[in-house]
Amino acid sequence: MEKTKKKILIAEDEPATMRAMADSIKAAGFEVIKATDGEQAVEFALRDHPDCILMDIRMPKMDGLTALKRIRKNEWGKDVCITILTNISDSAKVDEALKDGAFEYLIKADWEVDKIVKKLKTRLGIE
């Protein structure tokens, strides 16, 4: 019996970062859904019900925090795993995000992609 792959939604507007993360996470055995702005992030999350969401804060059209709030308002979205991707200078936004229900935050510049992958595996109980 084939195990269904866990779905990870990545919301990131920078194409190189997105490509690197998506390919690495795919190679680790996950299915990846890509969103390039906040609007798409909300739309795809509610459409595809990913197991975990990696959300960039600064995106065009709708930023990560607003998208986070929208998803949390939804019945399904209340408890889904959401990790904020950010850079160090956004500390005020990070606090707000954690208050709004993000599970944790990762500082983009510090975290290498395999660490992100490791984190995901731990969160979702895979090895």
Partner 1 sequence: MDILVIIISLVAILAFGVGLFLFIQTKQLKKTFSKKEQEMGRRMYELAILKELGDRIGYSLNVQNIVDIITGSLHQFIEYDVVSYMLLQPEKIIFKVQLEESVSRKFIDDVKNRMMNSLSALLNQEFKNDQIDEVLVGAIVVDEVEEPVRSFFNIPLVIAGNVVGVLTVADTKVGLYKEEETTILYKITQQASQAVTRLQEVIKTEQGKLNAMVESMTEGVVMTDKDYRVVVANPAVRKTIGIEDKKDITIFDFIDHLEGKFDIRGKLEESVKLDKMLITEEVPLHERYYQIFVSPVKSSLGIKGEEIIGAVVIFHDITHEKELTKMRKNFTSMMVHELRSPLDGIKKMVTVLEKGDIVKDKQTQKEYYGLIHQNSSNMLDLVNDLLDVAKLESGKFQVRPVPNDLRKLITESEQFFQSSAKVATIMLDSVIDKQIPTEIQFDYSRIGQVLNNLISNAIKFTFAGGKVTIGVFLHKKGGEIKKEANGACIAWAPTNNIAELENLPDCIIIPIIDTGRGIAADKISTLFNKFTQIDPVLEFTGMKGTGLGLVIAKGIVESHHGVIGVFSKEGAGSTFYFTIPI
Enumerate binding residues for partner 1 (CB under 8 A). Answer: 14-21, 23-24, 27, 58, 60, 87, 89, 108-109, 112-113
Task: Look up residue 4 and give its DSSP letter.
Answer: P
For the bound state, the minimum distance from the C-beta of residue 20 to partner 1, rounded and expressed in Å, comes to 4
Spatial neighbors of 90 by CB under 8 A, at least 6 apart, are: 57, 58
CB of 78 to partner 1, least distance (A): 30
Nearer to partner 1, 48 or 114 (CB): 114
3-state secondary structure of 52: strand
In this complex, which beta carbon is closest to partner 1, that of residue 1 or of residue 16?
Answer: 16
Given a contact cutoff of 8 angstroms between Cβ atoms, the answer to whether 13 and 56 are in contact is yes
Nearest residue (CB) to partner 1, 58 versus 123: 58
Q: Which is nearer to partner 1, 14 or 100 (CB)?
A: 14
Single out the residue of 24, 34, 77, 81 nearest to residue 59, CA to CA: 34
